[in-house]
Structure 1
Amino acid sequence: MDAAGPKLQANGHVKPKPKGVLLMPLLPVLCCLLYAPCVTYSEWYIDELFAVLRNEDARGETSLSQVFSNDFWGNPLWGQSWTHKSYRPLAVLSFAWQFRFLGEDLFRPQPLRTFNAALHAANSLLVLLLLRRLGLQKWASLSAALFAAHPVHVENIVYLVGRADVLATTGWLLAALVQLEVRSTWQAKGQFPKLAGLLLVILCSILAVGACLCKEMGLTLLVFTAGLELVSCKPGSRCLATGAVPVALLALSSFVLLAAARFAVTKGSSAAFGYVDTPVQYHDDVWVRTWSYLFQHSYYAKLLIFPGYLSWDYSFDAIPVLRAAWRDVRSLSVCCAYLAVVALVSWGLANSRRLVLGLQVVIIPFVPASNLFFKVGVTIGERLLYPCTVGGVIAIAALGQNLEKRRRSWPTRLGGVLLAIYVWRCGERVWQWRSSEALYMADALSWPNSVKTRHQLGTVFHQQGRYDEALREFNASLMILDDNALTDHCIGQIYIETGRYKLALERFEKIMRGHGVGFSAFNLWMLYVDYGFTLVALGRFEEAIEPLEKGLSRNAAVPHGQNALGYAYASLNQLQQAQDVFARGLEYDPDNPVLWSNLAVVWMVAGAFQQAAQGLEKALTIEPQNPVIIQNVMVLKGVSQTGYLSEHPKLDLFFSKN
């Protein structure tokens, strides 16, 4: 056990020395300033669009009851639609309350990131307070600074989806401090009545529910509560008399009940995650799946201690599966990671219970992300480590303080070096998040075999009109995973935009022969609409109608798709159908000159020249320099002179990026 210095009492409370107390928060606060640049970042990243900007729940546009019946992405938990099974209503409400406070016209990410940075600073100070309450004063400031500057936290702060982990960890820290304070108060009176233990568990359960409504792992707070009680119990002491064991049992019972309630609300935890995101679960061999997940655990351990190259998404094939476990050298890292945990627990039981407590806080919140009990939607998620780093810095502080008591000075120096590395890597990572292009470019250099990273870098170039660079990245992604329909679709769109319709058709036909990886119910309409559009551009009108109608039946608000379908009907002389489709397109885009011009063409062919004149006048008002519209106006003028169509008016196509 700890041989010298302040000892952890049965209640876990140690009165801190007043000397230097005011200076202790300075280092963690300074480290939190590393995130200051992100409060100016104005870009929305990937899932932020779905989770925040386009989520009516997060925008505060739905009722409270609906927020509590939808998942994190705004999809109903109970119904036929697909759901992520991520139930985080308080995290969603935190966005809604911010938007309501700022005003509906301020749907910008900067205030949201400012709140994330402030919340992380508050958590860093709570970590500092927790370390002091655990009797780790000498290492409290340095360890809290390690937490504040840990590079994996960049994803939690800049990437708004990571707020859920930060909020849940706040609940963890508050519960731990409350538990230590309650036990300290009663222990000072020389007793710990059963009623006090019951009230403590009820209070921790309330905090656990709040944390769970921010992120699923918040429920494991109650397991931590039980562990803190047992660790606080001195060896050889009467734990039953101090109330530690009864409180621990009550906390575990509460955890089981609340976990069952949570599973009932979400109807289990299974969700169909994509192959690109989570390839391991699709492998047939159970040993390959098991060893691959275990390797992911060892990689999480590396990120926790010494994060190197980071990535916004460790998709296929950034971290390949272990197909031949015993012949794959990466299996050694699995053995090393688990043996290190066993060794640290063994050493902690003999020398420092605080170290055991720290390891407990690392392991317990990680269990929901381990893929051993249920599947999560990412291969490696840096943001999932946020609560685990609390345990990591507790373990570091306990280990460092214990070694220093043995008159060893190198732990403090090593801790300082580690902090310097964290500060450097954290600052660098914050800078890499300054834009999508900078982020994906950095990750593509570090993780060239990540399918999603190369794909997303291609989408950035595509949006900027840098077609050659976009094609380079899309093709690089397909070299890693050729059967990726979403990437082939993006290439097809580039070919459409550049008028290379035959090449586009080859891509769509390849997609139709494959497994449709990357497409699901919510975005399948894009594939059918663009496939049909390509057929129309190639003059294959009869073939184009079926995919266009199929796509538009899933999402009618696609003006270029409605126009292409009307173009096909008009070219087949099905004028009534063409008129109806063009009119429907104008419902979604009433100021589109091409739709007005094409509708006027249908009216001209049908002999409704007055209506055609009105349609062309509207089109010409919107886009007076359009050559097709001007040509159709001249055709209509010819009708006024001859009384009939001497020249066939011209239909036109337009294409909008989805």
Structure 2
Amino acid sequence: MEPVLITSCVTAFFLYFNTLDAEFAYDDSRAIKTNPDVLPTTPLSQLLWDDFWGTPLTHSGSHKSYRPLTVLSFRLNYMVSEFNPRSYHVTNVALHVAATGLFAVLARALTPHARLARTAAPLLFAAHPIHTEAVAGVVGRADVGAAIFFLGALLSYMRYCGCGRGSAALGGRVGRHVWLGAALVSATLSMLTKEHGITALAVCAAYHVFVHAKLRPKEVFSILSERRHRGVVEGLSALGASLVVLLACRLVIMGSQPPEFAPADNPAADCDSPAVRALTFFFLPAFNAWLLLCPNTLSFDWSMEAIPLVTSLGDPRNLASAALYAVIGLLGLTALLSLRRRRLVDDSGNGETSTTGDVTVMGLAILILPFLPATNLFFYVGFVVAERILYIPSMGACLLVAWGAHLLYARARTLRARRCIQVALVILFVLFAARTWRRNRDWETEENLYRSGIAINPPKAYGNLANILSSQGKKEEAEWAYKKALSYRSNMADVHYNLGILFQEQKRHEEALQEYKLAIQFRPRMAMAHLNMGLVLGLLGQKAEAAEVYRHCSQLDGSGLKDPRTHESTKISALFNLGRLYADDGHFERAIDVYQEAVDKMPPYYQPQSLYNMLGEAFFKLERFEEAEKFYLEALKVKADHVPAHLTYGKLFSPQQRISEAEEWFRRAKALAPNDSTVHQHFGQFLSEVERHEDAADHYVRAAQLAPSEYEIIFNAANTLRQAGRNKQAEEYYRLAVHLRPQEATSHMNLGAMLHVNGKLLEAESSYLEALRLKPDDSITRTNLQKLRHLLAKKGISPSR
């Protein structure tokens, strides 16, 4: 094996070794953790009909990103480690090593006698910082995988061309067509890994016409008329037919509908001015070219205003656009002039069989053709700049840079000049490697990644950073970051929604309500904002308004949305909460109607166990026990370990005097969730109802230990301890209840009664008096106080007041 192949592969592995323990980042969670197609419970055939994010391609909200092989690879990773990121990162690094090795083989095939070029090209590719997003970010696997099949297609097609049509041997003819078939299959696999992989067919065509057949542009039109070009016709016909078939299949599968994107994803596409659109789209390839040449400033996201629109001819960025197209034109002209001479020189200056034109043509073809789908030339795309899409084009850039260095080296007249060229390449490689290694640290955690993007895209970076800080419990910092994001871009519905969630968690309900209203103002069909707004209104006691919001949420149109699954599931959740709102008010018939509506409308992917369980609860309250049992069993059928269904099913048997069956279901719930306070609370309630007070007290105490801040559990634990005769413990828990709700008269009254029983008479009097201060007309407390003072008088103790 050639040393440069080993060296470039080792370099590719070593530079990304520090990403193996990185977290999932940015789009990884949506493409993997919330994508149902990654789970083994989803039929494999579904991968053929869903997009990269798990949304049906025919849905109006689909991005039409058809990458079933990439999703299949995620599914295989899930079988190995479920959602542990390590196996996903190991796979990405391994694929990058494989892509680097294949590129080294290609560079060797294109520049067989130019040692400097075939060494520099794969090493620069292995170390290029622009690849960090594709390798360190798991979602970038689509680009790396597509590159592997892309190179496989090109190398196979080169072998096909090299076999020659003149071979009389059957094996030669068969072998030639095997290589052609391998090229077509590889191009298909590349497209199924990521869409732009189909451009491998165009690059193969460029190789056949200009490199292998050595045709000049004016000779291309003679292909069909001259017999000597039959081999070219055969190859191009196969490539063309494959292109037509693949594009036709792609259009059929995606429903012949273009994708829809938010204006922030691609602001130029949403601009009304054709001139602004044109100038901006002309500039974006120049910006991408600069990232390839000088990848110092990188970002996880370039949307919104990260790259301002080019609004006039006077914008200096137009010079960059002009420079790019001038360089491409110059390189193209160089290639055309070189196609006739086809002369190369090697490191020692001797003439060789290859030509500058061949390498220039292939470098330009690999650089430009795979990038064309991202230029907005054929259709609008959902991004401004995406670093990972430069993975394949960077091969062309590395090839051209390495070849240019080789030409300078070959024409240098002194040893010092040659050494300078070599040193320059080494310095470039070291700079690339150092930047890659440093950039990998940004991708180790989401927090690092978003902090690194603040200078480029502050609203998006601050908004995402706030989510991370909130999940880490750093609520004050998260609030600051959300508000910072909104200071740059006030109409970010997601940020308003997430800030509302933060306020809701902190019980700042009025502020949460305001943020949800703003989220809905900027995105009227945002179902999650409606759902949470309904929850907050319910907590504020505005039940009529909450019911209205839930009903409106359940009727929201989901067409054209990015995540239709979540949207449709949220609509069912809105009906679920509406039904629960009615049930809490004792309107069980209305609750049943709403729950049934939710069952009728729920999509196949909705998990209905909680819905079935609440239906059973409503029937139970109406003492329609057979129907209640039916839905409890439905809930358990959907999810056999659904703890709430175990609890409600156990409660069903108690009024029917099926005590042993009830206890068995409570014990099953306890086995499933031994540290769930709710389980112990319900088990304790059941035991108390059957007058097993000692056992009931044990379960309530355990529930209180698991949920020490839950007033209802603490208060009920105290009551049950009192019933069990464990008065000292009961006193302790009544004190805890008073501490949790000092304004609750019932807590003070019961504490007073317990202190009264325990002989702490003056303390009892104090508790009774506090209860009467909070609830002056409570007759039970007044009676207890009178009895206490009568006892104090008998004992000769003066009342405290």
TM-score normalised per structure 1? 0.81
What is the CA distance between 1:149 and its match in structure 2? 0.8
Q: Provide the residue aligned with 1:555 in structure 2.
A: 569
Q: Compared with structure 1, are the counterparts of its residues 508 and 437 closer, same or farther at alpha carbon in structure 2 (3 Å cutoff)? A: same
Q: 2:312 aligns with which of 325, 350, 368?
A: 325
Cα distance in 1 between the residues matched to 2:514 and 2:680? 31
Q: 2:70 aligns with which of 48, 71, 91?
A: 91
Q: Compared with structure 1, are the counterparts of its residues 269 and 205 closer, same or farther at alpha carbon in structure 2 (3 Å cutoff)? A: farther
The CA deviation string for residues 388-416 of structure 1, in whole angstroms up to 9 with x for no partner, is: 11111221222222232222635433322
Q: Say if 2:239 is the partner of 1:251.
A: yes
Which has the larger displacement, 456-465 or 332-341?
Answer: 332-341
Amino acid at match of 2:453: D
Q: 1:434 aligns with which of 431, 434, 444?
A: 444
Aligned residue for 1:84, secondary structure, equals coil
Aligned residue for 1:25, secondary structure, equals helix
Q: 1:335 aligns with which of 322, 335, 339?
A: 322
Cα distance in 1 between the residues matched to 2:99 and 2:290? 23
Q: Provide the residue aligned with 2:39 in structure 1.
A: 59
Note the aligned Cα RMSD (angstroms): 4.0
What is the CA distance between 1:284 and its match in structure 2? 1.6
The CA deviation string for residues 329-361 of structure 1, in whole angstroms up to 9 with x for no partner, is: 222222122222112222233342111210111
Q: Provide the residue aligned with 1:425 in structure 2.
A: 435
Does the 8 Å CA contact 2:697/2:721 hold for their aligned counterparts? no
Q: 2:290 aligns with which of 270, 280, 302?
A: 302
Does the 8 Å CA contact 1:176/1:225 hold for their aligned counterparts? yes
Does the 8 Å CA contact 1:60/1:93 hold for their aligned counterparts? no
Which has the larger displacement, 166-175 or 182-191?
Answer: 182-191
Q: Provide the residue aligned with 2:87 in structure 1.
A: 111
Does the 8 Å CA contact 2:579/2:591 hold for their aligned counterparts? yes
Cα distance in 2 between the residues matched to 1:559 and 1:86? 28
Cα distance in 2 between the residues matched to 1:559 and 1:87? 29
Amino acid at match of 1:542: A
Amino acid at match of 2:712: V
The CA deviation string for residues 143-191 of structure 1, in whole angstroms up to 9 with x for no partner, is: 1011111112111112111111111111111122222223334389699
Q: Provide the residue aligned with 1:9 in structure 2.
A: none
Does the 8 Å CA contact 1:541/1:569 hold for their aligned counterparts? no
Cα distance in 2 between the residues matched to 1:360 and 1:269? 29
Cα distance in 2 between the residues matched to 1:527 and 1:368? 35
Which has the larger displacement, 276-285 or 381-390?
Answer: 276-285
Does the 8 Å CA contact 2:127/2:432 hold for their aligned counterparts? yes
Q: 1:77 aligns with which of 49, 52, 57?
A: 57
Cα distance in 2 between the residues matched to 1:596 and 1:577? 31
Does the 8 Å CA contact 2:684/2:700 hold for their aligned counterparts? no
Q: Compared with structure 1, are the counterparts of its residues 512 and 319 closer, same or farther at alpha carbon in structure 2 (3 Å cutoff)? A: same
Q: Provide the residue aligned with 1:44 in structure 2.
A: 24
Bigger-Rg structure (1/2): 2
What is the CA distance between 1:477 and its match in structure 2? 1.7
Q: Provide the residue aligned with 1:223 in structure 2.
A: 202
What is the CA distance between 1:25 and its match in structure 2? 2.9
What is the CA distance between 1:575 and its match in structure 2? 6.6
Cα distance in 2 between the residues matched to 1:111 and 1:252? 38
Aligned residue for 1:40, secondary structure, equals coil
The CA deviation string for residues 450-481 of structure 1, in whole angstroms up to 9 with x for no partner, is: 43222101101111121222122212221222
What is the CA distance between 1:375 and its match in structure 2? 2.4
Identical amino acids, percent of aligned pairs: 26
Aligned residue for 2:70, secondary structure, equals helix
Cα distance in 2 between the residues matched to 1:594 and 1:276? 44
Aligned residue for 1:213, secondary structure, equals helix
Which has the larger displacement, 113-122 or 617-626?
Answer: 617-626
Q: Say if 2:36 is the partner of 1:34.
A: no
The CA deviation string for residues 179-210 of structure 1, in whole angstroms up to 9 with x for no partner, is: 22233343896999998876654432222111
Count of residue pairs brought into register by the alignment: 606
Q: Provide the residue aligned with 1:443 in structure 2.
A: 453
Q: Provide the residue aligned with 2:658 in structure 1.
A: none
Does the 8 Å CA contact 1:229/1:244 hold for their aligned counterparts? no
Does the 8 Å CA contact 1:27/1:142 hold for their aligned counterparts? no
What is the CA distance between 1:512 and its match in structure 2? 3.3
Cα distance in 2 between the residues matched to 1:317 and 1:595? 51
Q: Compared with structure 1, are the counterparts of its residues 509 and 636 closer, same or farther at alpha carbon in structure 2 (3 Å cutoff)? A: farther
Cα distance in 2 between the residues matched to 1:559 and 1:594? 22
The CA deviation string for residues 71-116 of structure 1, in whole angstroms up to 9 with x for no partner, is: 22222224x463221111111112223333x2xx643121121111
Q: How does 1:546-625 map to 2 (within 5 A)?
A: 546-549=548-551, 551=553, 554-555=568-569, 566=580, 570=584, 574=587, 584=614, 590=644, 622-624=703-705, 625=708
Q: Compared with structure 1, are the counterparts of its residues 81 and 349 closer, same or farther at alpha carbon in structure 2 (3 Å cutoff)? A: closer
What is the CA distance between 1:326 and its match in structure 2? 1.2
Cα distance in 1 between the residues matched to 2:168 and 2:327? 39
Q: Compared with structure 1, are the counterparts of its residues 187 and 59 closer, same or farther at alpha carbon in structure 2 (3 Å cutoff)? A: same
Cα distance in 2 between the residues matched to 1:37 and 1:561? 47
Q: 1:459 aligns with which of 453, 467, 477?
A: 467
Q: How does 1:395-414 map to 2 (within 5 A)?
A: 395-407=400-412, 409=418, 410-414=420-424
Cα distance in 2 between the residues matched to 1:620 and 1:559? 33
What is the CA distance between 1:610 and its match in structure 2? 8.2
What is the CA distance between 1:501 and its match in structure 2? 1.6
TM-score normalised per structure 2? 0.68
What is the CA distance between 1:22 and its match in structure 2? 3.1
Q: Provide the residue aligned with 2:372 in structure 1.
A: 367
Does the 8 Å CA contact 1:296/1:380 hold for their aligned counterparts? yes
Does the 8 Å CA contact 1:31/1:148 hold for their aligned counterparts? yes
Q: Provide the residue aligned with 1:270 in structure 2.
A: 258
Q: Which has the higher helix share?
A: 2
Higher relative CO (Cα under 8 Å, sequence separation at least 6) belongs to: 1
Does the 8 Å CA contact 1:563/1:595 hold for their aligned counterparts? no
Q: Compared with structure 1, are the counterparts of its residues 476 and 393 closer, same or farther at alpha carbon in structure 2 (3 Å cutoff)? A: same
Does the 8 Å CA contact 2:4/2:104 hold for their aligned counterparts? no
Q: Provide the residue aligned with 1:655 in structure 2.
A: none
Aligned residue for 2:134, secondary structure, equals helix
Q: How does 1:120-519 map to 2 (within 5 A)?
A: 120-135=96-111, 136-186=114-164, 201-232=180-211, 233-234=213-214, 241=228, 243=230, 245-246=232-233, 247-268=235-256, 270-322=258-310, 324-351=311-338, 352-353=356-357, 354-407=359-412, 409=418, 410-444=420-454, 446-447=455-456, 449-516=457-524
Aligned residue for 2:399, secondary structure, equals helix
